[in-house]
Structure 1
Amino acid sequence: MTTHATPRKSALIIGASRGLGLAMAAEYVARGWRVTATVRGDGRTALHDQADAADGRLTVEAVDITVPEQVVALHSRVAGTAFDLLLVNAGITNGDVPVTDVSTETFNRVMVTNALSPMRVVEALQDVVLRAGTIAVMSSRQGSITLNDRAGYEVYRASKSALNQLMRSFAVRHAHDPHTLLLLSPGWVQTELGGPAAPLTIGESVPRLVDTIENHAGEGGLRFVDYQDHTVPW
């Protein structure tokens, strides 16, 4: 009798040197996936330490997603692998500053990092994702226009709203593409970005995020959901 082992799933995680991305890479490795995850520079990071302990199931690549040529080069390096999941994790903030006090340079940097660059990655790497696979992008509850009843962090909010709109346009342009598309809200988490006062730990958010991604595997279409798999209003 011939037996067939279940193929191990694979994920490509963009932006995993720290915080949520680092924890997502660890969670997928712990669940038996093969993971390729990226850092921005050439220096050693905690992700490299994870790779050393992952028995060959975690590969580290370097890419700065704000540099289009580096994204193209990454595509060339991973083109031989078919991934079940592409997860793009990117986010910076300029702090809680009213938009009238933000320089044009800072505004551009936040928008390019949080909105334009993730979408360039999605466009460039969509073809390495299996047709029944998932393309997920880390958004935020603060990107919801409906839920903006407190103001604050205006440029960060605007960048995540822009990301959501661009992902919606991508979904429309690729309406007949079978990929599942997800915008993810991880909750307010105790990371460098979220700060120590955040109510959620990484350990409380990340496993639920991974469960949420898996809940929608193979469904197709675009959804904006949080770490509890609740729909977030646009």
Structure 2
Amino acid sequence: MIEEIFMTQQTALIVGASRGLGLALAEEWLGRGWHVVATMRGDAPGLDDLHARFSDRLEIEHVDIRDASSVRDLGARLQGRRLDVLFVNAGIARSNDKTPVDAAEQDFVDMMLTNALSPVRTVEMLASLVRENGVIAIMTSELGSIADSTGFWPLYSSSKAALNMLMKGYAAHHPGDPRALLLVAPGWVRTEMGGDEATLSIEESIPHVVDMVEANRGKPGLRYLDRFNRELPW
């Protein structure tokens, strides 16, 4: 039954959907009638509530994006299915106001692993599941732009710049990839990670993000875009 759904219904795999922006992405696509596979690492009450509402179209998988074998196992479980969208949403923010001289080294190491290496590694492992006219997207940030940097949250910004660079490398190594490859900057959104001072609500960001992703289907190439489908400076 599930295999038949994947063949006939538009399907998104959202890696990192337990809360915040990832959970909002899952809810938005479900609200548009899509089938969604959403991953979580630990307990996710919000995702459980979403499953109660959309049990016929929401699958939940347990994955730790920082563990390559966990992602590889997910790929094996989904083998033979076809996705219209793969959206990797993973991010942590630590030592936000610190500089290299006073930040905890482990905070920076953890951000580089979670925010930069793991998302692109996940794309490499799961890209074969995405249809040729589909979209491979990773959640990045406007703070990943070196050209526009103001020095805000410098260590977090560095991890997102590294993510953008690693995705540039992925695109360079797959020059004939027919899928859209998107680095998505959703704006500064009020979530547990974004904090109360963020300028946007989830409702002011995520519906636009989903519109933008859908608008890029069938348009190959790597692009660094904001929620309104505008290109950002690298």
Question: Does the alignment reach a TM-score above 0.5?
Answer: yes
- Residues 45-194 of structure 1: matches in 2 within 5 Å? 45-94=45-94, 95-148=96-149, 150-194=150-194
**Is the 2:120–2:163 contact (alpha carbons within 8 Å) kept by the matching residues of 1?**
yes
Of residues 103-112 and 179-188 in structure 1, the stretch that sits farther from structure 2 once superposed is 103-112
SS at match of 2:101: helix
How many residue pairs end up in the alignment? 227
**Is the 2:19–2:44 contact (alpha carbons within 8 Å) kept by the matching residues of 1?**
no
Match of 1:16 in 2: 17
Distance between the aligned counterparts of 1:166 and 1:84, measured in 2? 23
**Is the 1:33–1:57 contact (alpha carbons within 8 Å) kept by the matching residues of 2?**
yes
Deviating runs (4+, > 6 A) in structure 1? none
Distance between the aligned counterparts of 1:15 and 1:179, measured in 2? 21
**Is the 2:186–2:205 contact (alpha carbons within 8 Å) kept by the matching residues of 1?**
yes
Matching residue's letter, 1:76: A
Q: CA deviation at 1:230?
A: 1.2
RMSD: 1.2
Matching residue's letter, 1:103: A
Q: CA deviation at 1:44?
A: 4.4
Q: TM-score, normalised to structure 2's length?
A: 0.94
**Is the 1:97–1:152 contact (alpha carbons within 8 Å) kept by the matching residues of 2?**
no
SS at match of 2:195: coil
What are the Cα deviations for residues 167-198 of structure 1, in whole angstroms up to 9, with x where unaligned?
Answer: 01100110011011000000011111111121
Matching residue's letter, 2:115: N
What are the Cα deviations for residues 140-174 of structure 1, in whole angstroms up to 9, with x where unaligned?
Answer: 000000111x2131110000000000001100110
Match of 1:3 in 2: none
What are the Cα deviations for residues 93-124 of structure 1, in whole angstroms up to 9, with x where unaligned?
Answer: 11221121123222111100000000110000
- Residues 192-231 of structure 1: matches in 2 within 5 Å? 192-231=192-231
Q: TM-score, normalised to structure 1's length?
A: 0.94
Q: Unaligned regions of 5+ residues in structure 2, if any? A: 1-6
Q: CA deviation at 1:55?
A: 3.8
SS at match of 2:188: coil
Match of 2:3 in 1: none
Match of 2:4 in 1: none
